[in-house]
Amino acid sequence: MKYIQSYLAIILFVFVSCTGTAGTKKTEASTMRQVLNGKILIGCAVNVNQTNGEDSVGSAIIAAQYNSITPENCMKSEVIHPEENRYDFIASDAYVDYGMNHGMFIIGHCLVWHSQLAPWFCVDKDGKNVSPEVLKQRLKTHIETIVGRYKGRIKGWDVVNEAFNDDGTYRQSKFYQILGEEFIPLAFQYAHEADPDAELYYNDYSMVGAQKRDSVISMVRKLKARGIRIDGIGMQMHSTMEDPNLSGVEKSIEAFASTGCKVMITEFDMSVLPNPFAGTNASVANRFAYTEKTDPFSKGLPDSVSTAWNKRMNDFFLLFLKHADVISRVTMWGLADSDSWRNDWPIRGRTDYPLLFDRSHQSKAIVDSIISEAKKVSVVKR
């Protein structure tokens, strides 16, 4: 019996050595996850089909290439807490299980956001704004319940998303109208009480503009001065071929790092399509009409555009690696081009190419560049 066991073990060892665990031919190729390990977390926003296993191809690539995940939609209040006394944890539980099964740094996104907000959250049954006391109680219960459920498994939370306008003023969200700027410290405090070990983040778009950048920094400093925990500042980085410019991004990385917070690139994608508005306002509320002229690459991407896209992406990743002492994570907003919201925003029904994997789930040239550049750097965290 003992001999048979040893014999079987040798056969198994030879088989695994030759084929890899999935039975596919083993190659020496590394993945982004492997080479960036200990340097920068490399993340991907995931959809429900990827975490429930329906998109098994996508799910396997994410597990091989990424070591952090963010839920694209399933934790937004309209999904996870659609009525005051009803939560829906089906998708979020599958999301967290998927992350745990693959040893991911799991992000929760997002606890307080004016968009995709559950309709009941800030109003009474007549549609009028609730009192500050009622909203505080609702915020507390919402945050306690969700953060508490995933305590110890979700390692970092986007606590507040998009609280500022591009001119640096506070957005007139219902949270702001009812509670004033105090809704931010309250949300961070409730999240910290619910899981004292979780990292807590502020997340926003257009973070290169000086006015928004300065307002975020001043808000973060005020939180810290009051002893309220905040660990990181997320720059979403929904980008185009023109915006934002690299030097502006670098300036913001340095400015945000000066608060003592980690800096994170949280929702990175880069559209190649004509941008119908000037500037970088990535508000999901902005939409424009479809015309064929606005959708020039519906039959495929010319090599010249693809080369320019890969080059610009590479420049960004070199910048992130240069600042890897303060950048804790770079998260792509989706896996493959077909998954991306950019196909439908700010114009519905276009064909865009914003992510690291194409419509056939093949990696783009940038993935190999990231792997070879990452191998060269050694990172000492600040």
Positions annotated as catalytic residues are 162, 267
Which residue matches tokens 């929904």?
Answer: 238
CA–CA gap between residue 76 and residue 342 (Å, rounded): 19
Nearer to ligand GLA (CB atom), residue 175 or residue 205: 205
**Number of residues located near ligand GLA, criterion CB under 6 A:** 6
Question: What is the C-alpha to C-alpha distance for residues 45 and 72, in angstroms, rounded to an integer?
Answer: 5
CA 171 – CA 195 distance, rounded (Å):
27
Among 77, 236, 252, 275, binds ligand GLA (CB under 6 A): 236
CB of 267 to ligand GLA, least distance (A): 5
Closer by beta carbon to ligand GLA, 34 or else 116: 116
Distance CA 119, CA 165 (A): 22
- H helices of the chain, in order, are 2-19, 32-36, 48-51, 56-65, 77-80, 90-101, 132-149, 174-179, 183-194, 210-225, 246-257, 303-322, 365-376
Residues of this chain, 60-79, that bind ligand GLA according to CB under 6 A: none
**Helix, coil or strand: residue 300:** coil
* Type of residue at 350: R
**64 burial via Cβ count (<10 Å: 0-12, 13-18, 19+):** middle
Q: Which three-class secondary structure state does DSSP give residue 217? A: helix
State which residue has the least CB distance to ligand GLA.
341
173 binds ligand GLA (CB under 6 A): no
Residue selected from 94, 123, 228, 284 as contacting ligand GLA according to rule CB under 6 A: 284
The count of residues in the chain is 382
- Minimum distance from CB of 5 to ligand GLA (Å)? 52
**What is the nearest approach in angstroms of ligand GLA to the Cβ of residue 171?**
13
Q: Binding of ligand GLA at residue 164 (CB under 6 A)?
A: no
Minimum distance of ligand GLA from residue 343's CB (angstroms): 11
Please state the closest distance from residue 116 (CB atom) to ligand GLA, in A.
7
Count of beta carbons in the 10 Å neighbourhood of residue 103: 10
CA dihedral 145, 147, 152, 155 (to 10 degrees): 170
The contact pattern for ligand GLA, residues 133-162, with x = CB under 6 A and - = no contact, is: ----------------------------x-
By CB under 6 A, tell whether 267 contacts ligand GLA.
yes
Nearer residue to ligand GLA within complex by CB, 119 or 302:
119
Phi and psi angles of residue 177, each rounded to the nearest 5 degrees, phi first: -60, -35
Among 175, 176, 205, 316, which residue interacts with ligand GLA (rule: CB under 6 A)? 205
Residue 30 Cβ vs ligand GLA, minimum distance, rounded to whole Å: 30
What are the residues binding ligand GLA (CB under 6 A)? 161, 205, 236, 267, 284, 341
